[in-house]
A and B are shown apart, each in its own frame.
Chain A
Amino acid sequence: MNRINQKLKENKKLLSIYFTAGFPKINDTVSIIENLEKSGVDFIEIGLPFSDPLADGPTIQASSTKALDNGMTSEVLFNQLKDIRKTVTIPLIIMGYFNPMMQFGIENFCKKCAEIGIDGLIIPDLPVDVYNDNYKAVFEKYGLINVFLITPQTSLERIQFIDKISDGFIYMVSSASVTGSQNAFGKTQDDYFKRIADLNLKSPQIVGFGISNAETFKQATKYAKGAIIGSAFVKYLAENGTANINKFVSGIRD
């Protein structure tokens, strides 16, 4: 069984952390992953930087620009990760935009992921229908889970369709926004979280966008299976470097 599905069976609220590969320094990737696992994170999203990250706010944009300036590429990332499964056992997901993957070659990209032991991909600008028609077979061939997003504006019909074709979990975007722009959740989000929970979908939901601390993590996981922190962690790395990652993580779970 894919490590993601195994993890989803655990009887607890899951914490996932996103970071941009190649930031703050080009060779920080492996140590960030190892430290996150040691700190008790449940799974990790490794951001493959892109020059034009449409769905991201200023924090992740800036970290992507820096990572590219540092020399990060798909090739470099795969090289850094080649022995990662010797030290790390939690699920690893690569999150990135479609164009760099296309240039690497989709099949090649999937093959590399499988060799390394990557469990899934999140590709915000690869639409569900295009994936379903053109790439599903190759993802499945290499045992990769492709994670889809839903938002507060996603129609019921579409949510049900996404649930049907999803393996693993559904990435539930907390509000109509790019990453890193929310500070607190209000009643609107709570209603939305509950509305989705009441649908009793087959795929567990993990909430992302706008989770930055213990309070928002708690709110986000009141109904959902887990939550993802991205911008807040990237900001922490920008300010503190890679030392004391465990301090950040323990601050979330308190």
Chain B
Amino acid sequence: MIVETAGLTKRYGENTVLSGLDLKVAEGSVLALLGPNGAGKTTTIRILSTLTRPDEGSARIAGFDVVRSPAAVRGVISLTGQYAAVDEEQTGRENLLMIARLRRFRRSAARVRTSELLERFQLPDVADRRVRTYSGGLRRRLDLAMSLVARPRLLFLDEPTTGLDPVSRTTMWDAVGDLVREGVTIFLTTQYLEEADRLADRIVVLDNGNVVADGTADALKNSVGGARLDLTFPSCEDAARAHVLVGGVTDGPTVSVPSDGSATHLHRVLDDLLTAGVRPDRVSTHRPTLDDVFTTLTGAAA
């Protein structure tokens, strides 16, 4: 386990931000911490990356205690925070060189590593421009590149795509995918279900400092119930008649019926309707999305 926490608790005055978080993350996996604003996502990352001390409980990164051996922990991790931690008045290249030198690369090795990372994140064209002139997407890419200078075993990404346009978001996702293939463990927080669904092996849903769900995207979806059939009719009257025949709930011309998602069930419902002479215009099966999971578990509008 590269991350192991036990009873992690953090309070700010009266406000309990984390209450007894227990978490284990296997090396080489991707964990997404999902939750609404104020759920404790950033606080968790800040504690695990040695920026904040917990009030109670303990956390180990690669076997090192975050409070007792912060220096050892820092040698294993890299942090890409919520706000791009780049120097606006330095160029992209200068930012990378600076980090490489701080990571104790020799001058020539620092230059080589910088060029590699500029290439990898498609930044060579803007490398010698000041970061002030970069778009949000470029800035994020540089930020991520800076986190990878020393090839971390564990990378924290705090809301890596918040505020990015769709193209930049996809680029970030691809970059994260490459890292996973290289064996880097990723610990990310997000408010976007799509992001968690796409990147993570495992999703932990956090609400008010508590874990309210933990599992793969599929397991979470199943936990809020099975699939449902949406049958749309030409008129509300037809829908009302169908409702009497197959049950479920009506919403205007649409009737939603709980289903196990199987073809047999679909066939039986349609048979019942056609026998009674009620013909739906459209049928769709609907698997629960992470949105449904989120809404059900946190009671928040996702």
Chain A partners chain B: no
Interface residues of B (CB under 8 A from A): none
Interface residues of A (CB under 8 A from B): none
